Structure 1
Amino acid sequence: MTRIAVIDNHGQFTHLEHRTLRDLGVDVEILDNDIPAAEIDADGLVLSGGPDMDRIGNCADYLELGVPVLGICLGMQIIAAELDGRVGSGDYGGYADVDVEILDDDDPLVGSLAPETRVWASHADEVKQLPDGFVHTGTSDVCGIESMSDTDRDLYGVQWHPEVAHTERGEEVFENFLAICER
């Protein structure tokens, strides 16, 4: 059975990420972001959302474990910042329903959502520049980089929250991530 660790970055929806994966039949656990990377035994990681970059614990170390990683909101921003992308304040700010245009319908994480999907997202902060090796996979009129993928390293990020009911087809994002972890 596929084993996924949800890394808790102190976000309000971390328990929903855990529940969604559990309901998909996954062996899943929530781990605090200060656990040493060497103690993690998982086939994939979800870096949860959270309030700010000052409380990301050992998340940078987790990117080196060689397992697929899905960053959600702050989790995506952590991936970008740690791999020399750029994160900055969003123009929009708080939570809103957003239509995301999928730019790569072959992308293993979000391609199945093409041509667009409606999501629930916070844009207080967002990725402003992709890290080297990443492909821009989703955009909206609120945020230029709504999703990104590096299929060579199996690192993926979405600015939105696929775990909340307001996001259409959010469960599909988790199903796609599981498929990545199982290959």
Structure 2
Amino acid sequence: MLPIFVVNNHGQFNHLIHRKLRDMDIEVRMIPNTTAPSDVEAGCSGIVLGGGPSLERAGNCAEYLDLGLPVLGICLGLHVIATARGGQVGPGSHGGYGGVTVEITGESEILAGYEGPIHVWASHADEVKQVPDGFVVHARSDICPVEAMGSADERIYGVQWHPEVSHTENGDLLFRNFERICGE
């Protein structure tokens, strides 16, 4: 199977995402967000859009959504997905990184196997304010109504939290689910 590409959006956690996948024996490669879409399409089985400081520095990420490959957006990656597909992102009322209890709101491929609320580590400096057409909210919290969303038809998913950090409960499960989606 081709590797999963982790797109580096200049965020502090991108290397942790790459290392987490590698440590899970998932074939992975980190690429800059300036990589040509044609090179991404030809070289991977799926794409993880990592976090970063701003949508303005997300390079070609929005173009990667049109390649027909599975995509998992993490934090800023979620925001790229939302804005590229017609949703809206705005400032959250609870900035900074910290622990959040997330409620899974329905069944989804990306969150398969999670039961009950989970404790995650997230930043809510910015968050999805309007979900794009064709996307479903998969998780929420007391401070954010869109902690996770996805489009099963497009195989595009996003989470507000960071599954790659040890503070997130069972983050490996989310990555295993994405690996399975990439292999289908």
Q: TM-score range by the shorter chain?
A: over 0.9
- Distance across 2 between alignment mates of 1:2 and 1:97: 34
Q: Which deviations, in whole Å up to 9, do the C-alpha atoms of 1:119-141 show, x marking residues without a partner?
A: 00000000011111101000001
Q: CA deviation at 1:115?
A: 1.7
TM-score, normalised to structure 1's length? 0.97
Q: Which deviations, in whole Å up to 9, do the C-alpha atoms of 1:84-124 show, x marking residues without a partner?
A: 001000000111100000001x2111132132110000000
Counterpart selection for 1:47 from 46, 49, 52: 49
TM-score, normalised to structure 2's length? 0.97
Structure 2 unaligned spans of 5+: none
Query: What is residue 84 of structure 2 aligned with on the other side?
Result: 82
Query: What is residue 174 of structure 1 aligned with on the other side?
Result: 175
Query: What is residue 122 of structure 1 aligned with on the other side?
Result: 123
Query: What is residue 23 of structure 1 aligned with on the other side?
Result: 23
Percent identity over the alignment is 51
1:101–1:114 contact (8 Å) kept in structure 2: no
Aligned partner of residue 93 in structure 1, secondary structure: coil
Matched to 1:59, the amino acid is C
Larger strand share, 1 or 2: 1
Residue correspondence of structure 1 range 33-72 to structure 2 within 5 A: 33-40=33-40, 41-72=43-74
Aligned residue pairs: how many? 182
- Distance across 2 between alignment mates of 1:26 and 1:152: 24
Q: CA deviation at 1:2?
A: 4.5
- Distance across 2 between alignment mates of 1:22 and 1:62: 22
- Distance across 2 between alignment mates of 1:60 and 1:137: 21
Runs of 4 or more above 2 Å deviation: none
Matched to 2:116, the amino acid is P
Structure 1 unaligned spans of 5+: none
Q: Which deviations, in whole Å up to 9, do the C-alpha atoms of 1:54-83 show, x marking residues without a partner?
A: 101001110011110000000000000010
